Amino acid sequence: MQSGFSWRVAVFLLPALCIYALFSAFPLLDTLRLGLYTANENGVRSFAGMDNYITILQDPQWSHAFWNAMANNLKFFGIHMVFQNPIGLLLAALLSLKNVRFSATYRTIFFLPTLLSVVIIGFIWQLILSPLWGVSERLLGLLGLGDWFEPWLGLESSALFTVSLMSVWQYIGIPMMLIYAALIAIPEDIVEAALVEGATPWRIFWFIRLPLILPTLGLVTILTFVANFNAFDLIYTVKGAMAGPNYSTDILGTLFYRTFFGYQSQVASPTMGAAVATIMFLVILCGVAGYFLAVQRRLQRFAL
């Protein structure tokens, strides 16, 4: 065993490091830099320090748009945490039970939407929910709930919730798979010992299986958080970059898009867009750091 610096390790690290630096680290640093500049109408850039950030947080129009997007993004994340992950856990728990017939088929079916393109998902759900050609009104009618039907995607009160549920429907396969993998990794003899002791399946789940998969649940939470705060494509597909009605589905991703690339007659502003992107980066960074400090360190892992 050699100790100290090893050339071999350096050589093997080099390709990955180069690619990562070139396509990930450098663009990120350049975005941070660009957010400190401003451009005049002729596109000439000059250093502006924290001006962009002050504008975003203090100008009434900007700050209203920003905090609205931030609040919507938090709701978007909240809906995923309340629906996607618990349902994913439930499905995984059911699938990992013994003697479930066709469990492989179910697993595939639940996972399928994840593989489809977001554009297709958005389009299909828009059609299903469409007040003109959709089937949802008729289906509700069959249940005698025809009066309950509303153009959910077009109402300020329900648009964000509806879009979030579409996203939940699409991505539920991922937490399900991760948790399922953790569940089947639990050694049988622990569960059998508990059974011999007279524990009910219910108790076994709450007191044996759940504590053992907590690290995975933490991982799922953090993955959901990062994905939701980077979300853009579904909203853009279903509601466009204006994220209507009245910006009720506007999240940080769509706000960034409008700012950076411009939209209709809103002229593109790469410098302001970079500032918005930097704020998004900081939000995600703080979220992840907070999670690691507060939660990850306390998680107990059991050597199985």
Partner 1 sequence: MKSNLRLVAASALILCNTLAHAGNLTIESWRVDDKTLWEDVLLPAFNKIHPDITVKFAPTSPPEYNSALNARLTAGTAGDLITCRPFDVSLDLFKKGQIDALNGAPGLKNFPESAQVAWQTDDGKSTYCMPMASVIHGFFYNKRVFAEMGLKVPETEAEFFGVLDKIKAAGKVAPLALGTADQWETNQIVFTSIGANHWKGEEGRKALIAGKKKFTDPEFVSTFDVMAKWAPYLPKGYQAQTYGDSQNLFGTGRAAIYPAGSWDISYFEQNSKVDFGAFKPPVQKAGDTCYISDHTDIAMGINSKSPNKADAKVFLDWLASKEFADLYTNKVTGFFSLSNHKIDVKNPVAKEMISWRNQCKSTIRLNAQIMSRGTPSMENELWNVGSQVINLKMSPKEAATQIQTGFAKWYAAAK
Q: Which residues bind partner 1 (CB under 8 A)?
A: 41-43, 61, 126, 129-133, 149-156, 239-242, 244-247, 257, 261-268, 270
Q: Decide whether 80 or 239 has the Cβ nearer to partner 1.
A: 239
Q: What are phi and psi of 297, to 5 degrees?
A: -70, -25
Which amino acid would we find at residue 209? R
Minimal distance in Å, beta carbon 34 to partner 1? 12
Q: How far apart are CA 225 and CA 290, in angstroms?
A: 12
Q: What angle do CA 160, 165, 169 make, to 5 degrees?
A: 150
Q: Decide whether 123 or 292 has the Cβ nearer to partner 1.
A: 123
Minimal distance in Å, beta carbon 198 to partner 1? 55
Minimal distance in Å, beta carbon 167 to partner 1? 18
Minimal distance in Å, beta carbon 57 to partner 1? 15
Q: Decide whether 209 or 239 has the Cβ nearer to partner 1.
A: 239
What is the number of other CB atoms lying within 10 angstroms of the CB of residue 105?
Answer: 9
The three-class DSSP label of residue 246 is coil
Minimal distance in Å, beta carbon 129 to partner 1? 7
**Tokens representing 119?**
């554009």
Which amino acid would we find at residue 17? L
Q: Decide whether 150 or 295 has the Cβ nearer to partner 1.
A: 150
Q: Decide whether 131 or 290 has the Cβ nearer to partner 1.
A: 131
Q: Decide whether 93 or 234 has the Cβ nearer to partner 1.
A: 234
**Tokens representing 42?**
């002729």
Minimal distance in Å, beta carbon 82 to partner 1? 24
SS (H, E, C) 21-53: HHHHHHHHHHHHHHCCEEECCCCCEEECCCHHH
**Tokens representing 70?**
């931030």
**Tokens representing 78?**
């909240």
